[in-house]
């Protein structure tokens, strides 16, 4: 019996030792699993400067491409104010226009006619200088601008950035302006070549009340009075007028488009889609420094944009060793032709300021 009791005690000790070892093993496993789980959770927490979603932060560290776009609208555009002086029989023009060939002269005619209503027609209630979204579907189906009776004319000259803000006075204006069937039309150049005779901008003349216009942060002007926009207001003392300048019906002068930009691993990709060009026409395209209001030098040459038989064109270009896309610091521009040494072909037919896509706090990814 003593031997049996002793045998049972030995078995009990063996069981106890086995259970103790199992407990130690399980404890070790649980500790290891807990450590790994903590490490896994820690791995999901972004290090300083990187958002948890993997988007780029202000420090410039990124795991995704930086994207931007430029909505390109017809140029030239803007507004011309006019004041008639009955005593001196003179008409003073006060333009605020953008989008011309730098340092280029342009004939300006007051004509007995109206601007075309096809596409983004001139004379709309809001100046296109404020960069509205394009329709993206228009084509150059309108006929060239019809001949109209020219009542008065002068010449306006663009500055080095392609803007026109200098005043001009037309004398011997014996017949005051009216808001009925009258327009201002601007032509591409003063020469006799066909490209210089192209009507590049047009605006229907409306009565103008200074109290109905408000300046925006970019210096552009927006008509806010319904009476002015519809042409039913008498104007200030009946002698002030306004014309919001926009597209014409001439070839390429109702075009618009979008440029999409993407920057990843130091490579900039630019994709441009354009509508409303003359069928089978060729156009120089660039990214410039600055904005459409203050255009600068060419920073990236996008090459030649070639329209198909429907007036639609696309191109894609890549550029290596690019470090950033500046927000509001580049402008996408398309020209009338490809020979930029010819001022008439240089004529910028559309422009869009590059803006970063929403939700991106930085424009500089680090590969």
The answer on 217 and 83 residing in a single domain is yes
Residues 319 and 224 in one domain: no
Say which residue, 234 or 26, is predicted with more confidence. 26
Number of separate domains in the chain? 3
Domain-located, residue 210: yes
- Does the residue 86 lie in any domain? yes
What is the chain's percent helix, strand, coil content, to nearest 5? 20, 35, 45
Instruction: Please give the full DSSP string across 119-179, using - where no structure is assigned.
Output: SS-TT-SS-GGG-PPP-S---S-SPPPPP-EEEEEEEEE--TTS-B---EEE----S---S
Instruction: Find the domain containing 25 and state its range.
Output: 1-45
Are 91 and 238 part of one and the same domain? yes
Q: Is residue 59 assigned to a domain? A: no
Are residue 159 and residue 25 in the same domain, yes or no? no
Is the domain of 36 the same as that of 127? no
User: How far out from the chain centre does Cα 121 lie?
Assistant: 18
* Residues 168-217: tens digit of each pLDDT: 999 999 887 876 789 999 999 998 888 889 999 999 999 987 766 544 33
154 and 182 share a domain?
yes
Assigned domain for 151 exists: yes
d(CA 253, CA 247): 6
Give residue for tokens 């096809």. 118
Do 93 and 204 share a domain, yes or no? yes
306-334 per-position pLDDT tens digit: 999 999 999 999 999 999 999 999 999 99
pTM of the model: 0.70
Average pLDDT over residues 3-23: 58
Mean pLDDT of all residues in 290-318: 97
Residues 13 and 81 in one domain: no
* Residue 301 and residue 271 share a domain: yes
Q: Looking at residue 54, what is its pLDDT?
A: 33
Q: How confident is the model at residue 158 (pLDDT cuts 50, 70, 90)?
A: very high
The answer to which of 20-29, 279-288, 290-299, 354-363 has the lowest mean pLDDT is 20-29
User: Coil, strand or helix: which one is 12?
Assistant: helix
On whether the CB atoms of residues 136 and 258 are closer than 8 A, the answer is yes
Of the listed ranges 105-114, 168-177, 265-274, 296-305, the least confidently predicted one is: 168-177
Q: Is residue 171 part of a domain?
A: yes
Query: Is 80 exceeded by the pLDDT of residue 8?
Result: no
Single residue among 228, 245, 262 that ends a domain in this structure: 245
Average pLDDT, rounded, for the chain: 77
* 36 and 92 assigned to the same domain: no
User: Which CATH number characterizes residue 321's domain?
Assistant: 2.60.40.200
The answer on 154 and 131 residing in a single domain is: yes
Verify that 126 and 231 share a domain, yes or no: yes
């Amino acid at each position: 019996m003593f031997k049996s009791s002793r045998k049972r005690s030995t078995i009990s000790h063996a069981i106890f030792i086995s259970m103790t070892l199992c407990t130690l093993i399980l404890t070790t496993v649980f500790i290891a699993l807990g450590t790994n789980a903590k490490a896994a959770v820690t791995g999901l927490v972004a290090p300083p400067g990187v958002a948890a979603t993997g988007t780029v932060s202000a420090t410039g560290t990124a795991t995704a491409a930086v994207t931007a776009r430029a909505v390109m609208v017809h140029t030239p555009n803007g507004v011309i104010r006019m004041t008639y002086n009955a005593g001196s029989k003179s008409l003073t023009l006060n333009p605020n226009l953008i989008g011309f060939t730098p340092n280029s002269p342009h004939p300006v005619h007051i004509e007995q006619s109206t601007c075309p209503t096809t596409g983004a027609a001139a004379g709309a209630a809001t100046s296109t200088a404020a960069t509205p979204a394009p329709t993206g579907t228009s084509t150059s189906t309108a006929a060239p601008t019809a001949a109209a009776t020219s009542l008065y004319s002068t010449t306006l000259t663009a500055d080095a950035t392609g803007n026109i803000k200098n005043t001009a006075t037309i004398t011997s204006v014996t017949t005051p302006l009216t808001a009925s069937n009258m327009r201002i039309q601007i032509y591409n150049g003063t020469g006799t070549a066909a490209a210089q005779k192209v009507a590049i901008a047009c605006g229907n003349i409306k009565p103008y009340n200074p109290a109905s216009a408000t300046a925006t942060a970019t210096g552009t002007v927006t008509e806010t009075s319904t009476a002015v926009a519809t042409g039913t207001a008498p104007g200030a003392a009946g002698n002030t007028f306004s014309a919001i300048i926009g597209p014409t019906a001439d070839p390429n002068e109702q075009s618009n488009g979008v440029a999409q930009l993407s920057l990843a691993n130091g490579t900039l990709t630019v994709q441009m889609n354009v509508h409303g060009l003359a069928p089978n026409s060729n156009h120089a395209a660039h990214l410039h420094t600055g904005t459409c209001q203050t255009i600068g030098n060419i920073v990236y040459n996008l090459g030649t944009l070639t329209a198909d038989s429907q007036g639609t064109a696309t191109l894609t270009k890549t550029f290596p060793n690019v470090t950033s896309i500046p927000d509001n610091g580049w402008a996408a521009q398309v020209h009338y032709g490809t020979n930029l040494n010819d001022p008439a072909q240089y004529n910028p037919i559309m422009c869009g300021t590059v803006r970063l896509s929403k939700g991106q706090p930085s424009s500089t990814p680090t590969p």
